[in-house]
Structure 1
Amino acid sequence: MAGSQRSALVLYGSETGNAQDMAEELGRLCARLHFSTDVDELDAVDLNSLLKHQIVMFVISTTGQGDMPHNSLLFWKKLLRKRLPPGCLSQVNFTCFGLGDSTYVKFNWAARKLVRRLEQLGANRFFDDGEADEQFEDGIEGAFSNWGERLHNHLLEAYPLEADQSPIPDDAVLPARWSLAPALEKIKDSSNGHHTQDSEPMVTGPPPERPLPIPDGWTATIVENSRLTPDSHWQDVRQVSFDVQQRPAGEVLQTNPGDCLTIYPKNFPEDVHRLITLMDWTSIADVPLVLSLCPSLPRNLFAPQPCTLRNLLLENVDITAIPKRSFLKSMSYFSTDEYHKTRLLEFTQNLYIDEYFDYATRSRRSILEVLEEFTSVKLPAERLFDIFPLIHGRDFSIANGGATSPSGVGTRVDLLVALVRYRTILRKPRQGLCSRYLASMPLSSTLVVSRKPVLSPIHGSANAQRPLIAMATGTGVAPVRCLVHERLSHPNPGPMLLFFGNRNREADYFFEKEWEALHSGGKLEVFTAFSRDQDKKVYIQHLVKQQADKIASLIRQGAIFAVCGGSSKMADACKEAVFEPYKSAGEPEERERELNALTWWQEIW
Structure 2
Amino acid sequence: MASQERSVLVLYGSETGNAQDIAEELGRLCQRLHFESHVEELDATDLNALLQHQLVIFVISTTGQGDMPHNSLLFWKKLLRKKLPPNCLSRLRYTCFGLGDSTYLKLDQLGAATFIDTYEADEQFPDGIDGSFIRWAEDLKKHLLEHYPPPSGLEPIPEDTILPPRWSLGPALNALSEKIQEINVSSLSINHTNATPTEPNLPPPGLLPIPAGWTATLTQNERLTPQEHWQDVRLASFDIPAHPSGERVRCVPGDCLTLYPKNFPHDVQKLIDLMDWNSVADRPLDLSACKSLPHNLYAPASCTLRDLLLNNIDITAIPRRSFLKNMSYFSSDEYHRERLLEFNMPEYMDEYFDYATRSRRSIIEVLDEFTSVKIPAERLLDVFPLIRGRDFSIANGGTSAVHPSHESSTRVDLLVAMVKYRTILRKPREGLCSRYLASLLPGATLRVSYKHVLSPIHGTANAQRPLIAMATGTGVAPVRSLIHERLTHPFPAPMIIFFGNRNRAADYFFEDEWRALAEDAAKKNSQLLVFTAFSRDQREKIYVQDLVRKEAPRLEKLIPQRAIFAVCGGSTKMADACKRAVFDPFTENGDEETRKEMLRAITWWQEIW
Establish whether TM, by shorter chain, passes 0.5: yes
SS in 1 for 2:8: strand
SS in 2 for 1:171: coil
Q: Which residue of 1 aligns with 2:304?
A: 308
Among the aligned pairs, what percent are the same residue?
A: 67
- What is aligned with 2:432? 433
Distance in 2 of aligned mates of 1:579 and 1:404: 38
Q: Deviations over 1:112-164 (max 9, x none)?
A: 111xx200011010011111112234322111111111111111111112230
SS in 2 for 1:173: coil
Q: CA separation in 1, counterparts of 2:560 and 2:46?
A: 44
CA distance in 2 between counterparts of 1:432 and 1:439 reads: 10
How far the C-alpha of 1:274 sits from its partner, in A, is 0.5
CA distance in 1 between counterparts of 2:265 and 2:530 reads 46
Residue 257 of structure 1: aligned partner:
253
How do 1:369-388 and structure 2 match up within 5 A?
369-388=365-384
Instruction: Say if 2:468 and 2:497, in contact at 8 Å, map to a contact too.
Output: yes
What residue number does 2:322 align with? 326
Aligned to 1:104: none
Once the two structures are TM-superposed, the CA of residue 449 in structure 1 deviates from its matched residue by 0.6
Kept after mapping to 2: 8 A contact 1:561/1:599 = yes
- 2:545 is aligned, of 520, 537, 541, to 541
SS at 1:127 equivalent: coil
Amino acid at match of 2:170: A
Take 1:140 and 1:444, find their aligned partners in 2: how far apart are those partners? 42
User: Match of 2:61?
Assistant: 61
User: Do the aligned partners of 1:318 and 1:388 also contact (CA within 8 Å) in 2?
Assistant: yes
Structure 2 partner of 1:171: 160
- Taking the aligned partners of 1:556 and 1:224, their CA distance within structure 2 comes to 42
1:88 offset after TM fit, Å? 1.0
**Paired residue type of 1:88:** C
Aligned AA for 2:47? L
Deviation of 1:382 after TM superposition, in Å, equals: 0.8
Instruction: Give the drift of 1:443.
Output: 1.1
Q: What TM-score do the two structures reach when normalised by structure 1?
A: 0.95
Secondary structure of 2:284's aligned partner = coil
- Please report how far the alpha carbon of residue 302 of structure 1 lies from its aligned counterpart in structure 2 after TM superposition: 0.6
Question: What's 1:405 paired with?
Answer: 403
Paired AA for residue 248 in structure 1: P
CA shift digits 1:358-377 (9 cap, x unpaired): 00000000111100110000
Matches within 5 A, 1:83-482: 83-100=83-100, 108=101, 111-114=102-105, 117-187=106-176, 204-401=200-397, 403-408=401-406, 409-482=408-481
> 1:510-540 CA deviation, whole Å, 9 max, x = no partner?
0000112333564301111111111111111
Tell me which amino acid in the other structure corresponds to 1:412: R
**Conservation of the 8 A alpha-carbon contact between 1:194 and 1:283:** no
SS at 2:580 equivalent: helix
User: How far apart in 1 are the matches of 2:552 and 2:485?
Assistant: 26
Contact kept? 2:564, 2:603, Cα under 8 Å: yes
Q: CA-to-partner distance for each residue in 1:201-220, whole Å, 9 max, x for gaps?
A: 98932101110111111111
Alpha-carbon distance in structure 2 between the residues aligned to 1:230 and 1:39: 48
Once the two structures are superposed, the pairs formed by residues 71-86 of structure 1 within 5 Å of their partners are: 71-86=71-86
Cα deviation for residue 179 of structure 1 reads: 0.7
Structure 2 CA distance, aligned partners of 1:482 and 1:524?
A: 14
Amino acid at match of 1:405: H
Q: Which runs of 5+ in 2 are unaligned?
A: 190-196
Any conservation in 2 of the 1:317–1:391 contact (CA below 8 Å)? yes
- Range that drifts further, 447-456 or 248-257: 248-257
Q: Distance in 2 between matches of 1:456 and 1:304?
A: 35
Once the two structures are superposed, residues 273-298 of structure 1 have per-residue CA deviations (whole angstroms, 9 ceiling, x without a partner) of 11011111111111111101000000
CA offsets per residue over residues 483-530 of structure 1, 9 Å max, x none? 000000001100000001111110000000011233356430111111
1:598 pairs with 2:597: no
Counterpart in the other structure of 2:193: none
Deviation at 1:568, TM superposition (A): 2.0
- Alpha-carbon distance in 1 for matches of 2:573, 2:235: 26
CA distance in 1, matches of 2:338, 2:183: 37
Q: Residues 15-38 of structure 1: CA distance to partner in whole angstroms, max 9, x if unpaired? A: 111111110000000000000011
User: Is the partner of 2:327 in helix, strand or coil?
Assistant: helix
Map of 1:571 onto structure 2: 575
- Give the secondary structure class of the aligned counterpart of 1:40: strand
Deviation digits for residues 288-320 of structure 1 (CA, Å, limit 9, x no counterpart): 111010000000111034311001111111001
Which one-letter code corresponds to 2:403 in the other structure?
S
Aligned to 2:497: 498
Structure-2 separation of matches of 1:361 and 1:488: 43
Q: Does 1:528 align with 2:532?
A: yes
Shift of 1:598: 2.3
CA offset at residue 84 of structure 1?
1.2
Structure 1 residue 186: Cα displacement: 2.0
Question: Given the superposition, is the C-alpha separation of residues 376 and 10 from structure 1 closer, same or farther in structure 2, using an over 3 Å criterion?
Answer: same
Structure 1 segments of 4 or more deviating over 4 A?
A: 189-203
Q: How far, CA to CA, are the matches of 2:564 and 2:419 in structure 1?
A: 31
Letter in 2 for 1:112: T
Cα-Cα RMSD: 1.9
Could you tell me whether the CA contact under 8 Å between 1:195 and 1:283 is conserved in 2? no
Q: Which runs of 5+ in 1 are unaligned?
A: 101-107
* Structure 1 residues 484 and 192, CA gap change in structure 2 (3 angstroms): closer
Counterpart residue identity of residue 52, structure 1 = Q
Distance 1:198 1:42, change over 3 A: closer
Calculate the TM-score normalised by the size of structure 2. 0.94
Q: Residue 81 of structure 2 aligns to a residue in which SS?
A: coil
Change in Cα spacing, 1:498 to 1:315, as seen in structure 2 (3 Å) is: same
Question: What's 1:586 paired with?
Answer: 590
One-letter code of the match for 2:103?
A: R
3-state SS of 1:113 partner: coil
Post-superposition Cα deviations, 1:60-89, rounded to whole Å, max 9, x if no partner, equal: 011111211111111111111111111111
Q: How many residues align?
A: 591
Please tell me whether the aligned partners of residues 562 and 598 of structure 2 are also in contact (alpha carbons under 8 angstroms).
Answer: no
Change (3 A) 1:196 1:68: closer
Distance in 1 separating the partners of 2:124 and 2:590 = 32
Structure 1 SS opposite 2:378? helix
Pair 1:486 & 2:482 matched: no
Q: Which moved more, 1:544-553 or 1:307-316?
A: 544-553
Please tell me the residue identity of whatever aligns with 1:65: Q
1:407-433 C-alpha deviation (Å, 9 max, x unpaired): 414111100000001111111111100
Query: Counterparts of 1:405 and 1:520 in 2: how far apart (Å)?
Result: 23
Taking the aligned partners of 1:198 and 1:454, their CA distance within structure 2 comes to 42
Match in the other structure for 1:105? none
Distance 1:142 1:194, change over 3 A: farther
Separation in 2, partners of 1:395, 1:66: 17
Structure 1 CA distance for aligned equivalents of residues 123 and 603 of structure 2: 23
Deviation at 1:230, TM superposition (A): 0.6
Tell whether the 8 Å contact from 1:267 to 1:433 is kept in structure 2 after alignment: yes
Cα offset, 1:252, TM superposition = 1.8
Secondary structure of the 1:262 match is strand
Query: Is the partner of 1:307 in helix, strand or coil?
Result: strand
AA matched with 2:23 = A
User: Aligned to 1:161, what secondary structure does the other structure show?
Assistant: coil
CA distance, structure 2, for counterparts of residue 63 and residue 15 of structure 1: 7
Equivalent-residue separation in structure 1 for 2:248 and 2:57 (angstroms): 40
